[in-house]
Amino acid sequence: MTEHRMDDDMDEVAPLDGAAGEAARAYHASDAPVPREAMWAAIAARRAAASTVEPAAPALRVVAGGAPAASEATARDVPRAFAPPRWAYAIAATMLLVIGVGIGRQMRGSIVAQREARADSVTSAAVWQAASTEHFGQVETLLTWMTSSPEARSEAQLAAWSRDLLGSTRLKLAKRISGERAEDLNRAATRLWNTLECLKKAGLSPEAPLVLDSTSPDGWMSVPAGMPSVQTQEPRSNP
């Protein structure tokens, strides 16, 4: 470390030596080995997290009305109506988890009763399990996609995922919500996606007709699907 000391000619205040010199060299000395791997993992994680919020990164594109039939659509057929920023996916995932769990728990009892009335052979627990598995599977798919390399985020994947999330009919409703609430189409689409996931989790058909019932300035929106009504809210977080 010491290549060439420059204080050889500085005898005004000599270095501490003897016991004091030893004591000085022990100042804040680290006896433990350097935690190389742990720090490298933390550095890699921080750098990866930072790279996922780059504004220029590819974003999900959802068809905004007039889309071709799913069987005919290709990646190039999908109009690029909007490109949600990456934080929208984080918000979407949060909304999905919070609202989905909340609504699902709230409605669990009534759904069991409905299913018994239908003499459904599938138990409510099984439906709950299946819906939850699918629900978290989609979240996992979304998060995996978000953190994947740019090369892995192909247009075809995006188009397929968009069609799976919202059909053209739902997208029209999303456009309506977007107009009513004066919010981005991607946010409105995210609300609807959450609503559909809540319905599935509650054991209801995701094909149930949805109605835009009410919106409030504080961010809440009510979307009834028959008797049950899903309330959505966009949480705010500091970057």
Partner 1 sequence: MDDQQLIAAVRGGDPRAEREFYDRFVDRVYRLAHRLAGDAAAAQDYTQETFVRAFDRLAQFRGEASLSTWICRICVSVTLNGIKARTSRGRIEVTMDEPPEVPTTRREAEPDLKTRLHAAIDALPDGYRTVFVMHDVEGYTHEEIGQALEIQPGTSKAQLFRARAKLRTALADFAGEWA
> Binders of partner 1: how many residues, by CB under 8 A?
38
Among 18, 55, 217, 239, binds partner 1 (CB under 8 A): 18
Q: Does 56 bind partner 1 (CB under 8 A)?
A: no
* Cα distance between residue 192 and residue 225, in whole Å: 12
- Report helix, strand or coil for 234: coil
**Quick one: 30 or 71, whose CB is closer to partner 1?**
30
Among 15, 65, 109, 150, binds partner 1 (CB under 8 A): 15
DSSP symbols for 102-157: HHHHHHHHHHHHHHHHTT-SS-HHHHHHHHHHHHHHHHHHHHHHHHS-GGG--HHH
Q: Least Å distance between CB 53 and partner 1?
A: 14
Q: Does 71 bind partner 1 (CB under 8 A)?
A: no
Q: Least Å distance between CB 38 and partner 1?
A: 7
Among 10, 75, 83, 156, binds partner 1 (CB under 8 A): 10
* Cα distance between residue 195 and residue 190, in whole Å: 9
Q: Least Å distance between CB 155 and partner 1?
A: 23
* Cα distance between residue 122 and residue 112, in whole Å: 10
Site string for partner 1, 23-52 (x = CB under 8 A): xxxxxxxx-x-xxx-xxx-xx--xx--x--
Q: Least Å distance between CB 34 and partner 1?
A: 5
**Cα 169 to Cα 42, 59, 165, distances in angstroms:** 44, 22, 11
Among 21, 65, 109, 226, binds partner 1 (CB under 8 A): 21
Q: Which of 168, 179, 164, 166 is nearest to 212 (CA)?
A: 179
Residue 30 neighbours by CB under 8 Å, 6+ apart: none
Q: Helix (H) and strand (E) counts for the chain?
A: 7, 3
**Quick one: 33 or 217, whose CB is closer to partner 1?**
33
* Cα distance between residue 1 and residue 72, in whole Å: 68
Q: Least Å distance between CB 157 and partner 1?
A: 23
**Quick one: 29 or 119, whose CB is closer to partner 1?**
29
Q: Least Å distance between CB 26 and partner 1?
A: 6
Q: Does 109 bind partner 1 (CB under 8 A)?
A: no
What residues pair up with 229 in beta bridges, in sequence order? 224
Residue 76 gets which letter from DSSP? G
Could you list the residues that contact partner 1 (CB under 8 A)? 1-7, 10, 12-21, 23-30, 32, 34-36, 38-40, 42-43, 46-47, 50
